[in-house]
Amino acid sequence: MNDSMNDKEHPQGKIKATDSIAAAIDHKDKISNKQFTQKSEIVQNSIYGDNGERYLLPINSAHLIALESFSKRLFGSSELPYDVYWIKGSEHVNALKMAHDIKMLPAYARIYSPSLSFPPDFDLFFKTYRRHEISRYSHVTWEAEESDCWKNDARTDVTPALAKIANDFVQTLREAAKRERLKSRMSDWLSGPKRNRSYLRDFMVDILDEYSRIMVVDVVFLYRKSACKDSKEAVERGLEQRQQAEGEYQSYMQGTDHHERPDGKTNRKVDLEELKSDLSHFFNNMRNKRTLFSKDKFIDYFGRIEYSRDAGYHVHICFFYKGSEVQRDIFYSHEIGKYWAKITGGRGYYHSCNASAAQGKYKNVGIGMVEHDDFEKIRHLWTAVVYFVKASQVVRVKRTDKEQMVLHGKKNKRQGERLGRPRQEGLSGPVYRAKLEKIFV
């Protein structure tokens, strides 16, 4: 998860997974609340084959986004999951909207992993759930019938005693949030992603205002030792991850440390030191690779170090070029990828998103050549790049939560008149920049 521990549809569009993988994912990843479907695109858990094919691991991560939504409602309102009331001397219960989240609590708890660093609100949930009485009632059907579960006054078979336990859990979390200054801690957690997002927004506005046309080259830098042979291996590796997650969950509920059993399969993981060393070599040598990165055509780059619990680290990065000086985005994507393979001495390989886009694998394409007045493509481009900074808002790899995982250079602002074809009124200066800022939110 960006950190990329997650099942993610690439922002450019839908990945064509094999039927067996898709079936495995569909079986586990369907959630009843459809509002999470679009938001869950910012998370992923995938591995790449040595031919660049991307395989989705059958690991549920939609619950990660559902928990994020639950947390916002939990700490941002006075909403309760149940209304307990008296009629003619007996207690009755109505299930409210938050009852769905009470039903999902066991699934939310299974998100926990000792290898990941979570935002303070998630940490508070994990700590409180394990200790609270409600964790002993995971077998209970906590909400009303499916057709009624989103009505404010849906009837339910939950007893008044159980409803009071659920309400107490919510109130306990809110009281703990006040004691532990959750709001302030959340602000600290989100400060880094906010800075990165602000930098990215300014960067995008500047280059589109400065250049009439840009060429965006989208490449994933990978390692051969973590490559997946085929869809069968992808499913097997996904099941291994599920078994590990189950062990972590049991240890979490018991309040004990989880120790992963070492085996030869852990050798496929790419560690951060290896990746950062290769990236440093790559970036330091860019100035010497003038056929790709000379100042007369290259603008800058923006990307992210991503993590998969199965394969370790890799890099997803976009390179921005002056569209008046270069064309052939697919050619450049392959040349950059070959350069990565050379820098790593053959240990690395790459995936060209530009080539995949040309093959029709993405629904909404924002890479390749982008004109300054093509606002639809600019929107798609923003969707493609903004997830670089979204991912760390939700979850981070524990040993990297203080590391800079977002990658960018230092763009040198060009002095002098704007080059390129003359622009129409409203497509330059403050008016144009204001239009872009409304898109880049």
| Secondary structure class of 326 (helix, strand, coil) | coil
58/386: higher pLDDT? 386
Largest CA distance in the chain: 84
- pLDDT at residue 13 greater than cutoff 70: no
Question: For residue 317, is it within any domain?
Answer: yes
Q: What is the average per-residue pLDDT within 233-255?
A: 74
Question: For residue 209, is it within any domain?
Answer: yes
Give burial (CB, 10 Å; 0-12/13-18/19+) of 58.
Answer: buried
Distance CA 275, CA 339 (A): 15
pLDDT band for position 391 (50/70/90)? Answer: low
Which are the contacts of 351, defined by CB distance < 8 A and separation ≥ 6?
Answer: 48, 52, 54, 219, 220, 222, 337
Give burial (CB, 10 Å; 0-12/13-18/19+) of 402.
Answer: exposed
- Mean pLDDT of all residues belonging to the chain: 79
| CB 383, CB 42: distance < 8 Å | no
Q: Percent of the chain at pLDDT above 90?
A: 50
Question: For residue 110, is it within any domain?
Answer: no
Lowest mean pLDDT, pick from 22-36, 67-81, 204-218: 22-36
pLDDT band for position 244 (50/70/90)? Answer: confident
| Spatial CA neighbour of 412 closest among 335, 322, 300, 317 | 300
Q: What is the average per-residue pLDDT within 61-76?
A: 86
**Residue 103 is encoded by which pair of tokens?**
């039903």
Instruction: Find the Cα–Cα–Cα–Cα dihedral 240, 42, 394, 257, rounded to 10°.
Output: 0
Q: What is the pLDDT of residue 14?
A: 37
Q: What is the average per-residue pLDDT within 241-262?
A: 71
Question: For residue 53, is it within any domain?
Answer: no
Residue 361 lies in domain: 190-240+265-439
49/98: higher pLDDT? 98
- pLDDT at residue 41 greater than cutoff 50: no
- pLDDT at residue 429 greater than cutoff 70: yes
Per-residue pLDDT of 363-372, as tens digits, reads 899 999 999 9
Total domains in the fold of the chain: 1
Give burial (CB, 10 Å; 0-12/13-18/19+) of 123.
Answer: middle
Per-residue pLDDT of 121-167, as tens digits, reads 999 999 999 999 999 998 888 865 443 444 455 566 799 999 999 99
16/437: higher pLDDT? 437
pLDDT band for position 253 (50/70/90)? Answer: confident
Q: What is the pLDDT of residue 51?
A: 55
Please report where in the chains the tokens 């998860």 appear, as a residue: 1
Question: For residue 402, is it within any domain?
Answer: yes
Please report where in the chains the tokens 């949930």 appear, as a residue: 125
Claim: this prediction has a pTM higher than 0.95:
no
Which ranges of 30-149 would DSSP assign to H, the alpha helix? 36-39, 62-76, 99-109, 120-131
- pLDDT at residue 411 greater than cutoff 70: no
**Residue 260 is encoded by which pair of tokens?**
């992963």
Question: For residue 423, is it within any domain?
Answer: yes
Which span out of 169-173, 194-198, 228-232, 424-428 was modeled with the highest average pLDDT? 169-173
Lowest mean pLDDT, pick from 10-19, 102-111, 202-211: 10-19
* Helix axes 182-210 and 375-394, enclosed angle (nearest 10): 150
Length of the chain: 441
Question: For residue 201, is it within any domain?
Answer: yes
Question: For residue 10, is it within any domain?
Answer: no
- pLDDT at residue 327 greater than cutoff 60: yes
